[in-house]
Copies of this chain bind each other. A is one copy, B any other.
Amino acid sequence: MMRRGLLLVVSGPSGVGKGTICKALMKLREDIVLSVSMTTRAPRVGETEGVNYFFTDHKTFESMIQNGELLEFAKVYDNYYGTPKAFVMEQLEKGMDVLLEIDIQGALKVKEQYPEGVFIFILPPTMEELRNRIVGRGTETPEAIDKRFTAAYNEIDLMENYNYFIFNDRVDLATTRLISIIEAERLRIRPKFVKTLIREIKEEY
């Protein structure tokens, strides 16, 4: 039976550990494709084209914006970051599930263009712990920490736009929860495809 792949959007406030969970998932599962972002910033030492990012120039990126070739994008300081649509759509049409790890603003833009995606909100075990994690990075001034924490605190409200929540109390548990969500979504009856599914079940007889 041919099914369309799932777009799995893993998102949450900065500092909740969504990257760690996605890495753990990708190590466990070979049946999921990771979406690679595109950026105009220069590659850093050790970064590989098509693995960490697709690297491109401003002119190309801006023409992709114009042509609607990005699922979402953002400008951070002087550089663009975005998700090329074509790669994701090709994989979904081949029946592959695609994992997209992305911040909340990006996830909400993806939802506008692809509402049938599975939107998963990663939560810190507690808000206290999230503050500790932001502090623990040790790279920021107290003002910057406060600003980052307040942003994360306010972003929790946006989880009402999501389909699932996962508390990241332990990476292994959070990854197991993510796998359950993926397994269940593969078994979900989607009104758009149920007639085809029924026909396929019956045709074989």
Seen from chain A, the residues whose Cβ lies within 8 Å of a Cβ on chain B are: 121, 123, 126-128, 153, 156-157, 159-160, 162-166, 177, 179-181, 183-185, 187-189, 191, 194-195, 197-198, 201-202, 204-205
Whether the Cβ atoms of B128 and A198 lie closer than 8 Å is no
How many Å lie between the Cα of A127 and that of B194 in the bound state?
17
Q: How many copies does the complex hold?
A: 2
How many Å lie between the Cα of A157 and that of B179 in the bound state?
29
Whether the Cβ atoms of A127 and B198 lie closer than 8 Å is no
Q: Which of A157, A187, A197 has the most chain B CB atoms inside 10 A of its CB?
A: A187
How many Å lie between the Cα of A194 and that of B119 in the bound state?
14
Contacts of A188 in B (CB 8 A): 163-164
How many Å lie between the Cα of A27 and that of B163 in the bound state?
30
How many Å lie between the Cα of A189 and that of B189 in the bound state?
18
Whether the Cβ atoms of B121 and A189 lie closer than 8 Å is yes
How many Å lie between the Cα of A163 and that of B156 in the bound state?
28
Contacts of A205 in B (CB 8 A): 126-128, 153
Contacts of A204 in B (CB 8 A): 126-128
CB<8 Å pairs between A and B, sample of 16: A126-B205, A127-B201, A127-B204, A153-B205, A156-B201, A157-B198, A159-B189, A163-B188, A164-B189, A165-B189, A177-B183, A179-B180, A180-B184, A180-B187, A181-B187, A184-B184
